[in-house]
Protein backbone atom coordinates (compact mmCIF):
# COMPACT_ATOMS: atom_id res chain seq x y z
CA UNK A 1 0.00 0.00 0.00
CA UNK A 2 0.95 3.66 -0.36
CA UNK A 3 2.31 4.56 3.07
CA UNK A 4 3.92 7.98 2.66
CA UNK A 5 3.42 10.67 0.03
CA UNK A 6 5.67 13.73 -0.13
CA UNK A 7 4.82 16.63 -2.46
CA UNK A 8 6.90 19.78 -2.90
CA UNK A 9 6.22 22.85 -5.08
CA UNK A 10 3.43 21.17 -7.00
CA UNK A 11 0.63 23.49 -8.22
CA UNK A 12 -0.70 25.23 -5.08
CA UNK A 13 1.06 22.76 -2.79
CA UNK A 14 4.30 24.07 -1.33
CA UNK A 15 5.44 21.21 0.93
CA UNK A 16 3.28 18.49 2.45
CA UNK A 17 3.82 14.92 3.64
CA UNK A 18 0.83 12.63 4.00
CA UNK A 19 0.74 9.31 5.84
CA UNK A 20 -1.77 6.81 4.54
CA UNK A 21 -3.18 3.72 6.22
CA UNK A 22 -4.73 0.58 4.80
CA UNK A 23 -8.46 0.30 4.37
CA UNK A 24 -10.58 3.17 3.03
CA UNK A 25 -9.18 6.70 3.22
CA UNK A 26 -11.43 9.57 2.10
CA UNK A 27 -10.27 13.07 1.18
CA UNK A 28 -12.81 15.85 1.58
CA UNK A 29 -12.70 19.62 1.43
CA UNK A 30 -14.08 22.59 -0.42
CA UNK A 31 -13.88 22.73 -4.20
CA UNK A 32 -10.48 24.08 -5.24
CA UNK A 33 -8.79 23.17 -1.95
CA UNK A 34 -6.39 20.79 -3.70
CA UNK A 35 -7.97 17.33 -3.37
CA UNK A 36 -7.66 16.48 -7.05
CA UNK A 37 -4.19 18.02 -7.12
CA UNK A 38 -3.07 15.34 -4.65
CA UNK A 39 -4.53 12.66 -6.94
CA UNK A 40 -2.80 14.33 -9.91
CA UNK A 41 0.48 14.06 -8.01
CA UNK A 42 -0.07 10.35 -7.38
CA UNK A 43 -0.95 9.89 -11.04
CA UNK A 44 2.34 11.51 -12.09
CA UNK A 45 4.14 9.27 -9.61
CA UNK A 46 2.64 6.30 -11.46
CA UNK A 47 4.02 7.53 -14.79
CA UNK A 48 1.27 9.88 -15.94
CA UNK A 49 1.90 12.68 -18.42
CA UNK A 50 3.54 15.72 -16.81
CA UNK A 51 3.53 19.42 -17.60
CA UNK A 52 5.50 22.49 -16.56
CA UNK A 53 2.16 23.91 -15.41
CA UNK A 54 2.40 21.61 -12.38
CA UNK A 55 5.55 23.39 -11.13
CA UNK A 56 4.61 25.90 -8.45
CA UNK A 57 5.05 29.50 -9.62
CA UNK A 58 8.44 30.92 -8.67
CA UNK A 59 10.13 27.54 -8.07
CA UNK A 60 12.53 25.50 -10.21
CA UNK A 61 10.99 22.05 -9.87
CA UNK A 62 8.11 20.01 -8.50
CA UNK A 63 9.03 16.87 -6.55
CA UNK A 64 6.73 13.94 -5.75
CA UNK A 65 7.86 10.92 -3.77
CA UNK A 66 5.88 7.90 -2.60
CA UNK A 67 6.76 5.01 -0.31
CA UNK A 68 4.93 1.72 -0.88
CA UNK A 69 4.97 -1.34 1.37
CA UNK A 70 4.50 -4.66 -0.44
CA UNK A 71 3.58 -7.45 1.95
CA UNK A 72 2.75 -10.00 -0.76
CA UNK A 73 5.91 -11.83 -1.88
CA UNK A 74 4.18 -12.84 -5.12
CA UNK A 75 3.18 -9.30 -6.05
CA UNK A 76 3.85 -8.43 -9.75
CA UNK A 77 6.17 -5.61 -8.63
CA UNK A 78 8.91 -8.18 -7.94
CA UNK A 79 8.68 -9.49 -11.49
CA UNK A 80 8.86 -5.92 -12.79
CA UNK A 81 11.88 -5.21 -10.56
CA UNK A 82 13.73 -8.27 -11.88
CA UNK A 83 12.91 -7.29 -15.46
CA UNK A 84 14.49 -3.86 -15.10
CA UNK A 85 17.31 -4.77 -12.69
CA UNK A 86 15.92 -2.92 -9.67
CA UNK A 87 16.22 -4.70 -6.34
CA UNK A 88 13.28 -4.55 -3.93
CA UNK A 89 14.40 -4.90 -0.33
CA UNK A 90 12.52 -4.91 2.99
CA UNK A 91 9.20 -5.05 1.09
CA UNK A 92 9.57 -1.38 0.15
CA UNK A 93 9.36 0.51 -3.14
CA UNK A 94 10.08 4.23 -3.43
CA UNK A 95 8.90 6.04 -6.55
CA UNK A 96 10.11 9.57 -7.26
CA UNK A 97 9.12 12.01 -10.00
CA UNK A 98 10.67 15.44 -10.54
CA UNK A 99 9.34 17.91 -13.11
CA UNK A 100 11.56 20.92 -13.75
CA UNK A 101 10.42 24.38 -14.81
CA UNK A 102 12.15 23.74 -18.16
CA UNK A 103 9.88 20.74 -18.79
CA UNK A 104 12.32 17.91 -18.02
CA UNK A 105 11.07 14.86 -16.17
CA UNK A 106 13.39 12.91 -13.83
CA UNK A 107 12.19 9.51 -12.58
CA UNK A 108 13.63 7.16 -9.96
CA UNK A 109 12.67 3.77 -8.54
CA UNK A 110 14.37 2.87 -5.26
CA UNK A 111 16.92 5.59 -5.97
CA UNK A 112 17.81 4.31 -9.46
CA UNK A 113 17.27 6.60 -12.43
CA UNK A 114 14.74 5.18 -14.88
CA UNK A 115 12.86 6.32 -17.95
CA UNK A 116 9.26 7.49 -17.73
CA UNK A 117 8.18 4.29 -19.51
CA UNK A 118 9.85 2.15 -16.83
CA UNK A 119 8.34 4.26 -14.03
CA UNK A 120 4.95 3.66 -15.68
CA UNK A 121 5.56 -0.11 -15.61
CA UNK A 122 6.12 0.04 -11.86
CA UNK A 123 3.26 2.47 -11.32
CA UNK A 124 0.64 0.35 -13.05
CA UNK A 125 1.34 -2.59 -10.72
CA UNK A 126 0.93 -0.37 -7.65
CA UNK A 127 -1.73 2.25 -8.41
CA UNK A 128 -5.03 2.22 -10.29
CA UNK A 129 -6.69 5.63 -10.55
CA UNK A 130 -10.27 5.97 -11.74
CA UNK A 131 -11.98 9.28 -12.33
CA UNK A 132 -14.87 10.44 -14.45
CA UNK A 133 -12.46 11.77 -17.05
CA UNK A 134 -9.82 9.05 -16.91
CA UNK A 135 -9.90 5.97 -19.16
CA UNK A 136 -8.56 3.04 -17.20
CA UNK A 137 -7.37 -0.40 -18.19
CA UNK A 138 -10.86 -1.80 -17.63
CA UNK A 139 -12.07 0.48 -20.42
CA UNK A 140 -9.44 -0.82 -22.85
CA UNK A 141 -10.84 -3.71 -24.92
CA UNK A 142 -7.34 -5.13 -25.43
CA UNK A 143 -7.05 -5.67 -21.67
CA UNK A 144 -10.38 -7.46 -21.18
CA UNK A 145 -8.90 -10.88 -21.92
CA UNK A 146 -6.19 -10.22 -19.31
CA UNK A 147 -8.83 -9.45 -16.67
CA UNK A 148 -10.70 -12.62 -17.54
CA UNK A 149 -7.48 -14.62 -17.13
CA UNK A 150 -6.77 -12.92 -13.81
CA UNK A 151 -10.27 -13.71 -12.58
CA UNK A 152 -9.60 -17.47 -12.73
CA UNK A 153 -5.80 -17.32 -12.52
CA UNK A 154 -5.27 -20.72 -10.87
CA UNK A 155 -7.28 -22.60 -13.50
CA UNK A 156 -5.93 -20.73 -16.53
CA UNK A 157 -2.30 -19.86 -15.80
CA UNK A 158 -0.73 -23.31 -16.25
CA UNK A 159 -2.35 -23.83 -19.67
CA UNK A 160 -1.57 -20.23 -20.63
CA UNK A 161 2.11 -20.71 -19.73
CA UNK A 162 2.35 -23.92 -21.76
CA UNK A 163 0.65 -22.26 -24.73
CA UNK A 164 3.03 -19.29 -24.54
CA UNK A 165 6.08 -21.60 -24.69
CA UNK A 166 4.77 -23.27 -27.83
CA UNK A 167 3.71 -19.95 -29.38
CA UNK A 168 7.14 -18.38 -28.76
CA UNK A 169 8.83 -21.40 -30.36
CA UNK A 170 6.44 -21.11 -33.31
CA UNK A 171 7.22 -17.42 -33.80
CA UNK A 172 10.96 -18.14 -33.69
CA UNK A 173 10.65 -20.76 -36.43
CA UNK A 174 8.43 -18.45 -38.50
CA UNK A 175 11.05 -15.72 -38.33
CA UNK A 176 13.67 -18.17 -39.61
CA UNK A 177 11.31 -19.19 -42.43
CA UNK A 178 10.62 -15.57 -43.44
CA UNK A 179 14.32 -14.82 -43.42
CA UNK A 180 15.07 -17.76 -45.71
CA UNK A 181 12.05 -17.08 -47.90
CA UNK A 182 13.02 -13.54 -48.93
CA UNK A 183 13.08 -12.85 -52.65
CA UNK A 184 15.78 -14.44 -54.77
CA UNK A 185 17.60 -11.19 -55.58
CA UNK A 186 17.98 -10.19 -51.93
CA UNK A 187 19.09 -13.70 -51.02
CA UNK A 188 21.70 -13.74 -53.79
CA UNK A 189 23.03 -10.35 -52.70
CA UNK A 190 23.14 -11.54 -49.11
CA UNK A 191 25.05 -14.67 -50.14
CA UNK A 192 27.62 -12.61 -52.08
CA UNK A 193 28.21 -10.38 -49.07
CA UNK A 194 28.54 -13.31 -46.68
CA UNK A 195 30.95 -15.18 -48.95
CA UNK A 196 33.13 -12.07 -49.30
CA UNK A 197 33.24 -11.68 -45.50
CA UNK A 198 33.85 -15.39 -45.09
CA UNK A 199 36.78 -15.31 -47.51
CA UNK A 200 38.29 -12.21 -45.91
CA UNK A 201 38.20 -13.75 -42.43
CA UNK A 202 39.45 -17.16 -43.54
CA UNK A 203 42.40 -15.63 -45.42
CA UNK A 204 43.39 -13.81 -42.22
CA UNK A 205 44.12 -17.22 -40.55
CA UNK A 206 42.95 -15.93 -37.19
CA UNK A 207 44.23 -17.72 -34.06
CA UNK A 208 42.57 -17.54 -30.62
CA UNK A 209 44.17 -14.94 -28.32
CA UNK A 210 46.42 -13.86 -31.20
CA UNK A 211 45.80 -10.15 -30.69
CA UNK A 212 46.72 -10.35 -26.99
CA UNK A 213 49.89 -12.34 -27.71
CA UNK A 214 50.96 -9.83 -30.38
CA UNK A 215 50.48 -6.93 -27.98
CA UNK A 216 52.59 -8.69 -25.36
CA UNK A 217 55.44 -9.49 -27.79
CA UNK A 218 55.42 -5.94 -29.23
CA UNK A 219 55.66 -4.59 -25.71
CA UNK A 220 58.69 -6.79 -24.99
CA UNK A 221 60.51 -5.86 -28.20
CA UNK A 222 59.78 -2.17 -27.75
CA UNK A 223 61.31 -2.35 -24.26
CA UNK A 224 64.24 -4.62 -25.16
CA UNK A 225 66.95 -2.40 -23.67
CA UNK A 226 65.14 -2.00 -20.35
CA UNK A 227 64.50 -5.74 -20.11
CA UNK A 228 68.08 -6.64 -21.03
CA UNK A 229 69.58 -4.28 -18.46
CA UNK A 230 67.19 -5.45 -15.72
CA UNK A 231 67.96 -9.14 -16.33
CA UNK A 232 71.69 -8.53 -16.69
CA UNK A 233 71.96 -6.44 -13.51
CA UNK A 234 69.90 -8.96 -11.55
CA UNK A 235 71.97 -11.90 -12.74
CA UNK A 236 75.37 -10.32 -12.01
CA UNK A 237 74.19 -9.12 -8.62
CA UNK A 238 73.70 -12.76 -7.70
CA UNK A 239 76.40 -14.67 -9.60
CA UNK A 240 80.21 -14.29 -9.58
CA UNK A 241 82.97 -13.49 -7.08
CA UNK A 242 82.03 -11.07 -4.35
CA UNK A 243 78.39 -11.31 -5.50
CA UNK A 244 75.22 -12.23 -3.67
CA UNK A 245 75.46 -15.99 -4.03
CA UNK A 246 79.14 -15.91 -3.00
CA UNK A 247 78.32 -14.18 0.28
CA UNK A 248 75.39 -16.53 0.97
CA UNK A 249 77.72 -19.50 0.39
CA UNK A 250 80.30 -18.04 2.81
CA UNK A 251 77.59 -17.66 5.46
CA UNK A 252 76.46 -21.24 4.97
CA UNK A 253 80.04 -22.59 5.22
CA UNK A 254 80.67 -20.58 8.41
CA UNK A 255 77.66 -22.23 10.05
CA UNK A 256 78.40 -25.66 8.59
CA UNK A 257 81.82 -25.86 10.30
CA UNK A 258 80.18 -25.37 13.73
CA UNK A 259 76.85 -27.17 13.31
CA UNK A 260 77.85 -29.88 15.83
CA UNK A 261 78.24 -27.27 18.59
CA UNK A 262 74.63 -26.03 18.74
CA UNK A 263 71.35 -27.46 17.32
CA UNK A 264 70.28 -23.87 16.42
CA UNK A 265 73.31 -23.52 14.13
CA UNK A 266 72.46 -26.85 12.50
CA UNK A 267 68.89 -25.67 11.81
CA UNK A 268 69.96 -22.31 10.37
CA UNK A 269 72.69 -23.95 8.27
CA UNK A 270 70.02 -26.07 6.55
CA UNK A 271 67.82 -23.00 5.93
CA UNK A 272 70.68 -21.00 4.38
CA UNK A 273 71.66 -24.01 2.24
CA UNK A 274 68.08 -24.25 0.93
CA UNK A 275 68.00 -20.51 0.16
CA UNK A 276 71.36 -20.77 -1.60
CA UNK A 277 70.19 -23.50 -3.95
CA UNK A 278 66.93 -21.60 -4.64
CA UNK A 279 68.82 -18.40 -5.45
CA UNK A 280 71.28 -20.34 -7.61
CA UNK A 281 68.36 -21.81 -9.60
CA UNK A 282 66.89 -18.32 -9.94
CA UNK A 283 70.20 -16.98 -11.24
CA UNK A 284 70.35 -19.74 -13.88
CA UNK A 285 66.78 -18.86 -14.97
CA UNK A 286 67.72 -15.18 -15.34
CA UNK A 287 70.76 -16.12 -17.40
CA UNK A 288 68.78 -18.46 -19.70
CA UNK A 289 66.10 -15.83 -20.29
CA UNK A 290 68.83 -13.27 -20.96
CA UNK A 291 70.41 -15.60 -23.55
CA UNK A 292 67.02 -16.07 -25.26
CA UNK A 293 66.26 -12.34 -25.30
CA UNK A 294 66.99 -10.95 -28.72
CA UNK A 295 66.25 -7.68 -30.40
CA UNK A 296 64.80 -8.30 -33.85
CA UNK A 297 63.61 -5.10 -35.59
CA UNK A 298 62.25 -7.16 -38.48
CA UNK A 299 60.09 -9.18 -36.08
CA UNK A 300 58.81 -5.96 -34.50
CA UNK A 301 57.89 -4.59 -37.91
CA UNK A 302 56.17 -7.87 -38.79
CA UNK A 303 54.13 -7.78 -35.59
CA UNK A 304 53.10 -4.17 -36.16
CA UNK A 305 51.85 -5.04 -39.64
CA UNK A 306 49.87 -8.00 -38.30
CA UNK A 307 48.37 -5.78 -35.60
CA UNK A 308 47.25 -3.26 -38.24
CA UNK A 309 45.68 -6.07 -40.26
CA UNK A 310 43.76 -7.33 -37.24
CA UNK A 311 42.61 -3.80 -36.31
CA UNK A 312 41.15 -3.32 -39.81
CA UNK A 313 39.21 -6.56 -39.45
CA UNK A 314 38.07 -5.60 -35.94
CA UNK A 315 36.45 -2.43 -37.28
CA UNK A 316 34.16 -4.66 -39.36
CA UNK A 317 33.76 -7.95 -37.54
CA UNK A 318 34.34 -7.58 -33.80
CA UNK A 319 36.43 -5.97 -31.09
CA UNK A 320 38.50 -9.12 -30.38
CA UNK A 321 39.80 -12.09 -32.36
CA UNK A 322 37.36 -14.30 -30.41
CA UNK A 323 34.42 -12.16 -31.55
CA UNK A 324 35.63 -12.31 -35.16
CA UNK A 325 35.96 -16.10 -34.99
CA UNK A 326 32.43 -16.31 -33.56
CA UNK A 327 31.16 -14.09 -36.38
CA UNK A 328 32.91 -16.34 -38.91
CA UNK A 329 31.15 -19.38 -37.43
CA UNK A 330 27.83 -17.55 -37.73
CA UNK A 331 28.59 -16.69 -41.38
CA UNK A 332 29.47 -20.32 -42.13
CA UNK A 333 26.10 -21.42 -40.74
CA UNK A 334 24.12 -18.82 -42.71
CA UNK A 335 26.00 -19.52 -45.95
CA UNK A 336 25.21 -23.20 -45.52
CA UNK A 337 21.52 -22.41 -44.94
CA UNK A 338 21.26 -20.18 -48.01
CA UNK A 339 23.21 -22.59 -50.20
CA UNK A 340 20.91 -25.43 -49.13
CA UNK A 341 17.88 -23.16 -48.85
CA UNK A 342 15.25 -25.53 -50.19
CA UNK A 343 16.16 -28.25 -47.72
CA UNK A 344 16.01 -25.86 -44.78
CA UNK A 345 12.74 -24.26 -45.96
CA UNK A 346 11.05 -27.64 -46.20
CA UNK A 347 12.27 -28.58 -42.72
CA UNK A 348 11.00 -25.27 -41.29
CA UNK A 349 7.59 -25.69 -42.99
CA UNK A 350 7.22 -29.12 -41.39
CA UNK A 351 8.27 -27.72 -37.99
CA UNK A 352 5.81 -24.81 -38.31
CA UNK A 353 2.93 -27.19 -39.12
CA UNK A 354 3.74 -29.35 -36.10
CA UNK A 355 4.04 -26.38 -33.72
CA UNK A 356 0.80 -24.86 -35.06
CA UNK A 357 -1.04 -28.09 -34.26
CA UNK A 358 0.36 -28.14 -30.73
CA UNK A 359 -0.40 -24.44 -30.23
CA UNK A 360 -3.97 -24.86 -31.49
CA UNK A 361 -4.59 -27.69 -29.03
CA UNK A 362 -3.40 -25.53 -26.12
CA UNK A 363 -5.38 -22.54 -27.44
CA UNK A 364 -8.56 -24.65 -27.54
CA UNK A 365 -7.99 -25.68 -23.93
CA UNK A 366 -7.48 -22.00 -23.04
CA UNK A 367 -10.73 -21.14 -24.83
CA UNK A 368 -12.62 -23.78 -22.86
CA UNK A 369 -11.24 -22.54 -19.52
CA UNK A 370 -12.02 -18.93 -20.41
CA UNK A 371 -15.60 -19.80 -21.31
CA UNK A 372 -16.09 -21.39 -17.89
CA UNK A 373 -14.48 -18.38 -16.17
CA UNK A 374 -16.67 -15.99 -18.19
CA UNK A 375 -19.86 -17.66 -16.97
CA UNK A 376 -18.82 -17.28 -13.34
CA UNK A 377 -17.64 -13.72 -13.84
CA UNK A 378 -20.88 -12.65 -15.49
CA UNK A 379 -22.93 -14.09 -12.60
CA UNK A 380 -20.71 -12.40 -10.01
CA UNK A 381 -20.89 -9.01 -11.75
CA UNK A 382 -24.68 -9.20 -12.00
CA UNK A 383 -24.81 -9.73 -8.24
CA UNK A 384 -22.54 -6.73 -7.66
CA UNK A 385 -24.72 -4.58 -9.93
CA UNK A 386 -27.83 -5.54 -7.94
CA UNK A 387 -26.09 -4.42 -4.75
CA UNK A 388 -25.52 -1.05 -6.47
CA UNK A 389 -29.19 -0.75 -7.52
CA UNK A 390 -28.54 -1.55 -11.17
CA UNK A 391 -31.01 -4.41 -11.25
CA UNK A 392 -31.87 -3.69 -14.89
CA UNK A 393 -28.24 -3.67 -16.06
CA UNK A 394 -26.94 -6.53 -18.14
CA UNK A 395 -23.35 -7.63 -18.54
CA UNK A 396 -21.92 -10.12 -21.01
CA UNK A 397 -18.52 -11.30 -22.19
CA UNK A 398 -18.34 -11.63 -25.94
CA UNK A 399 -15.95 -14.09 -27.58
CA UNK A 400 -15.58 -12.75 -31.10
CA UNK A 401 -15.87 -15.52 -33.67
CA UNK A 402 -13.27 -15.01 -36.36
CA UNK A 403 -12.68 -17.39 -39.23
CA UNK A 404 -10.10 -18.67 -39.68
CA UNK A 405 -8.86 -18.73 -36.12
CA UNK A 406 -5.71 -16.64 -35.73
CA UNK A 407 -3.18 -17.48 -33.05
CA UNK A 408 -1.73 -14.60 -31.01
CA UNK A 409 0.42 -14.55 -27.89
CA UNK A 410 -2.81 -14.81 -25.84
CA UNK A 411 -4.39 -17.66 -27.78
CA UNK A 412 -7.02 -17.22 -30.48
CA UNK A 413 -9.69 -15.60 -28.27
CA UNK A 414 -10.82 -11.99 -28.70
CA UNK A 415 -12.76 -10.93 -25.63
CA UNK A 416 -14.97 -7.86 -25.10
CA UNK A 417 -16.91 -6.73 -22.04
CA UNK A 418 -20.43 -5.63 -23.04
CA UNK A 419 -22.90 -3.66 -20.90
CA UNK A 420 -26.45 -2.43 -21.06
CA UNK A 421 -27.73 -0.26 -18.21
CA UNK A 422 -31.42 -0.12 -19.16
CA UNK A 423 -34.13 -2.62 -20.07
CA UNK A 424 -34.57 -2.89 -23.81
CA UNK A 425 -31.18 -1.36 -24.62
CA UNK A 426 -28.74 -3.51 -26.57
CA UNK A 427 -25.43 -4.60 -25.13
CA UNK A 428 -22.60 -2.25 -26.11
CA UNK A 429 -18.85 -2.12 -25.64
CA UNK A 430 -17.95 -1.03 -22.14
CA UNK A 431 -15.78 1.69 -23.66
CA UNK A 432 -18.79 3.15 -25.49
CA UNK A 433 -21.15 3.48 -22.52
CA UNK A 434 -21.72 7.13 -21.62
CA UNK A 435 -20.07 8.31 -18.42
CA UNK A 436 -22.14 9.24 -15.41
CA UNK A 437 -23.55 7.69 -12.25
CA UNK A 438 -24.35 4.38 -13.93
CA UNK A 439 -20.90 4.01 -15.42
CA UNK A 440 -19.35 4.90 -12.07
CA UNK A 441 -21.32 2.16 -10.35
CA UNK A 442 -20.46 -0.38 -13.00
CA UNK A 443 -16.78 0.49 -12.74
CA UNK A 444 -17.03 0.13 -8.97
CA UNK A 445 -18.57 -3.34 -9.37
CA UNK A 446 -15.69 -4.37 -11.61
CA UNK A 447 -13.16 -2.88 -9.19
CA UNK A 448 -14.75 -4.84 -6.35
CA UNK A 449 -14.25 -8.12 -8.20
CA UNK A 450 -10.89 -7.42 -9.78
CA UNK A 451 -9.12 -5.64 -6.92
CA UNK A 452 -8.11 -8.96 -5.40
CA UNK A 453 -7.15 -10.40 -8.81
CA UNK A 454 -5.20 -7.42 -10.18
CA UNK A 455 -2.73 -7.29 -7.31
CA UNK A 456 -3.02 -3.50 -7.34
CA UNK A 457 -1.71 -2.05 -4.09
CA UNK A 458 -3.78 1.16 -4.11
CA UNK A 459 -7.08 1.85 -5.87
CA UNK A 460 -7.94 5.54 -6.15
CA UNK A 461 -11.37 6.98 -6.93
CA UNK A 462 -11.50 10.64 -7.90
CA UNK A 463 -15.10 11.81 -7.45
CA UNK A 464 -16.59 8.74 -9.16
CA UNK A 465 -19.69 9.15 -6.97
CA UNK A 466 -20.73 12.38 -8.72
CA UNK A 467 -24.33 12.30 -9.88
CA UNK A 468 -25.67 9.83 -7.31
CA UNK A 469 -27.46 10.26 -3.99
CA UNK A 470 -29.68 8.53 -1.48
CA UNK A 471 -29.65 4.76 -1.36
CA UNK A 472 -27.27 4.59 -4.36
CA UNK A 473 -24.77 6.73 -2.49
CA UNK A 474 -25.01 4.36 0.48
CA UNK A 475 -24.51 1.35 -1.80
CA UNK A 476 -21.42 2.96 -3.32
CA UNK A 477 -20.04 3.62 0.15
CA UNK A 478 -20.55 0.00 1.15
CA UNK A 479 -18.98 -1.27 -2.08
CA UNK A 480 -15.92 0.95 -1.60
CA UNK A 481 -15.44 -0.56 1.84
CA UNK A 482 -15.59 -4.03 0.31
CA UNK A 483 -12.95 -3.06 -2.27
CA UNK A 484 -10.74 -1.76 0.56
CA UNK A 485 -10.66 -5.22 2.15
CA UNK A 486 -8.37 -6.47 -0.64
CA UNK A 487 -6.70 -3.19 -1.69
CA UNK A 488 -5.98 0.12 -0.07
CA UNK A 489 -8.59 2.62 -1.32
CA UNK A 490 -8.15 6.39 -1.53
CA UNK A 491 -11.28 8.33 -2.43
CA UNK A 492 -12.15 11.96 -3.08
CA UNK A 493 -15.83 12.37 -2.32
CA UNK A 494 -18.57 14.94 -1.72
CA UNK A 495 -20.98 12.31 -0.40
CA UNK A 496 -21.37 12.09 3.39
CA UNK A 497 -22.37 8.41 3.05
CA UNK A 498 -18.96 7.58 1.55
CA UNK A 499 -17.07 9.81 4.00
CA UNK A 500 -18.82 8.12 6.95
CA UNK A 501 -17.54 4.73 5.75
CA UNK A 502 -13.90 5.87 5.93
CA UNK A 503 -11.34 4.13 8.09
CA UNK A 504 -9.27 7.32 7.82
CA UNK A 505 -10.70 10.77 7.01
CA UNK A 506 -8.38 13.51 5.76
CA UNK A 507 -9.56 17.08 5.32
CA UNK A 508 -7.94 19.21 2.59
CA UNK A 509 -7.87 22.95 3.22
CA UNK A 510 -6.65 25.89 1.12
CA UNK A 511 -4.87 28.63 3.06
CA UNK A 512 -3.19 31.94 2.37
CA UNK A 513 0.05 33.23 3.87
CA UNK A 514 2.40 35.98 2.70
CA UNK A 515 0.23 36.56 -0.37
CA UNK A 516 0.62 32.92 -1.46
CA UNK A 517 -1.91 30.10 -1.55
CA UNK A 518 -0.99 26.71 -0.17
CA UNK A 519 -2.73 23.43 0.64
CA UNK A 520 -2.71 21.66 3.98
CA UNK A 521 -3.90 18.19 5.00
CA UNK A 522 -5.42 17.34 8.36
CA UNK A 523 -6.39 13.87 9.60
CA UNK A 524 -9.69 14.19 11.46
CA UNK A 525 -10.48 12.69 14.82
CA UNK A 526 -14.00 11.49 15.61
CA UNK A 527 -15.28 14.88 16.75
CA UNK A 528 -13.78 16.65 13.73
CA UNK A 529 -15.16 13.97 11.45
CA UNK A 530 -18.67 14.58 12.82
CA UNK A 531 -18.31 18.30 12.09
CA UNK A 532 -17.07 17.64 8.55
CA UNK A 533 -19.92 15.19 7.83
CA UNK A 534 -22.39 17.77 9.16
CA UNK A 535 -20.94 20.39 6.82
CA UNK A 536 -21.22 17.95 3.90
CA UNK A 537 -24.89 17.35 4.78
CA UNK A 538 -26.05 20.94 5.30
CA UNK A 539 -23.36 23.19 3.84
CA UNK A 540 -21.30 25.64 5.88
CA UNK A 541 -23.75 25.98 8.79
CA UNK A 542 -23.49 23.27 11.46
CA UNK A 543 -26.75 22.36 13.20
CA UNK A 544 -27.51 19.94 16.01
CA UNK A 545 -29.75 18.01 13.64
CA UNK A 546 -26.92 17.64 11.13
CA UNK A 547 -24.51 16.54 13.87
CA UNK A 548 -26.95 13.93 15.14
CA UNK A 549 -27.41 12.73 11.57
CA UNK A 550 -23.62 12.55 11.13
CA UNK A 551 -23.25 10.52 14.34
CA UNK A 552 -25.97 8.15 13.18
CA UNK A 553 -24.21 7.72 9.80
CA UNK A 554 -20.92 6.89 11.51
CA UNK A 555 -22.64 4.37 13.75
CA UNK A 556 -24.39 2.70 10.82
CA UNK A 557 -21.12 2.58 8.86
CA UNK A 558 -19.34 1.06 11.85
CA UNK A 559 -22.00 -1.63 12.20
CA UNK A 560 -21.79 -2.43 8.48
CA UNK A 561 -17.99 -2.82 8.64
CA UNK A 562 -18.26 -5.13 11.66
CA UNK A 563 -20.74 -7.37 9.82
CA UNK A 564 -18.66 -7.39 6.62
DSSP letter string, 10-76: ETTEEEEEEE--SSEEEEE--TTSSHHHHHHHHHHHTTPPP-GGGBPTT-SEEEEEEEEE---TT-H
| Strand-pair partners of 428 | 419
Mean pLDDT taken over the chain: 85
Q: How far apart are CA 84 and CA 122, in angstroms?
A: 10
What integer pLDDT is reported at residue 376 of this predicted model? 92
38 neighbors 21 (Cβ within 8 angstroms): no
What percent of the chain lies above the pLDDT cut of 90? 33
pLDDT at 417 over 80: yes
Q: How far apart are CA 302 and CA 205, in angstroms?
A: 15
pLDDT at 290 over 50: yes
| pLDDT tens track for 348-380 | 899 999 999 999 999 999 999 999 999 999 998
| pLDDT tens track for 395-412 | 899 998 777 888 999 999
What integer pLDDT is reported at residue 135 of this predicted model? 42
Say which residue, 175 or 342, is predicted with more confidence.
Answer: 175
pLDDT at 564 over 80: no
What integer pLDDT is reported at residue 267 of this predicted model? 85
Lowest-pLDDT range of 100-104, 185-189, 327-331, 335-339: 185-189
What integer pLDDT is reported at residue 467 of this predicted model? 63
| pLDDT tens track for 235-270 | 878 876 777 888 888 888 888 877 777 888 888 888
pLDDT at 109 over 60: yes
What stretch of H or E contains 109?
A: strand 105-109
Q: Crossing angle, helix 210-222 and helix 224-238, to 10 degrees?
A: 70
Lowest-pLDDT range of 191-200, 433-442, 523-532: 433-442
pLDDT confidence band for 504 (50 / 70 / 90): very high
| pLDDT tens track for 306-326 | 999 999 999 999 999 999 999
Q: How far apart are CA 9 and CA 57, in angstroms?
A: 8
| pLDDT tens track for 118-148 | 999 898 888 877 765 444 556 678 888 888 8
What percent of the chain lies above the pLDDT cut of 70? 93
Lowest-pLDDT range of 175-189, 211-225, 364-378, 538-552: 175-189
What integer pLDDT is reported at residue 363 of this predicted model? 94
What integer pLDDT is reported at residue 152 of this predicted model? 84
Q: Average pLDDT, stretch 548-558? A: 90
pLDDT at 7 over 90: yes
Q: If you average pLDDT over each of 53-67, 129-143, 286-300, which comes out highest?
A: 53-67
Strand ranges for 159-306 from DSSP E: none
Tell me the DSSP string of 482-518.
HHHHHSEEEEE---HHHHHT-SEEEEEEEEEETTEEE
| pLDDT tens track for 449-467 | 876 665 566 788 776 666 6
pLDDT confidence band for 390 (50 / 70 / 90): confident
What integer pLDDT is reported at residue 133 of this predicted model? 47
Strand ranges for 374-503 from DSSP E: 394-399, 415-420, 428-429, 458-462, 488-492
Nearest to 493 by CA among 479, 509, 476, 510: 476
Q: Average pLDDT, stretch 52-65? A: 91
42 neighbors 5 (Cβ within 8 angstroms): yes
What SS3 state is found at 97?
A: strand
Q: What is the pTM of this model?
A: 0.59
Q: Average pLDDT, stretch 498-505? A: 92
pLDDT at 159 over 90: yes
Say which residue, 456 or 432, is predicted with more confidence.
Answer: 432
Say which residue, 201 or 429, is predicted with more confidence.
Answer: 201
Other C-beta atoms lying within 10 Å of the C-beta of residue 559: 10
What integer pLDDT is reported at residue 184 of this predicted model? 65
What integer pLDDT is reported at residue 4 of this predicted model? 92
Q: How far apart are CA 38 and CA 7, in angstroms?
A: 8
Amino acid sequence: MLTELSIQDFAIIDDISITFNDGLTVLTGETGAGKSIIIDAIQLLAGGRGSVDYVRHGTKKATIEGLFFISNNHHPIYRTGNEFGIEIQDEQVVLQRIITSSGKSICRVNGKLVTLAILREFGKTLIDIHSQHETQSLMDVDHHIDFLDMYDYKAIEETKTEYRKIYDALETVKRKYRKLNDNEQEMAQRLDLLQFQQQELEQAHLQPEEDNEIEEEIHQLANYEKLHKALNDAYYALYGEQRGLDFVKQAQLALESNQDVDPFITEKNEEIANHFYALEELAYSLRNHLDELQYNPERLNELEQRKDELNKLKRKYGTTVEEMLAYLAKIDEEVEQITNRDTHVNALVAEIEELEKDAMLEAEQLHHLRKLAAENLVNEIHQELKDLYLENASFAIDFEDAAPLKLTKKGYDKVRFLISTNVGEPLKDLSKVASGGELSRFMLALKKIFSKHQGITSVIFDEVDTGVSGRVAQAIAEKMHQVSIDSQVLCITHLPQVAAMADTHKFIRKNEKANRTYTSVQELNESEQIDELSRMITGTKLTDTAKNHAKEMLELASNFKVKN
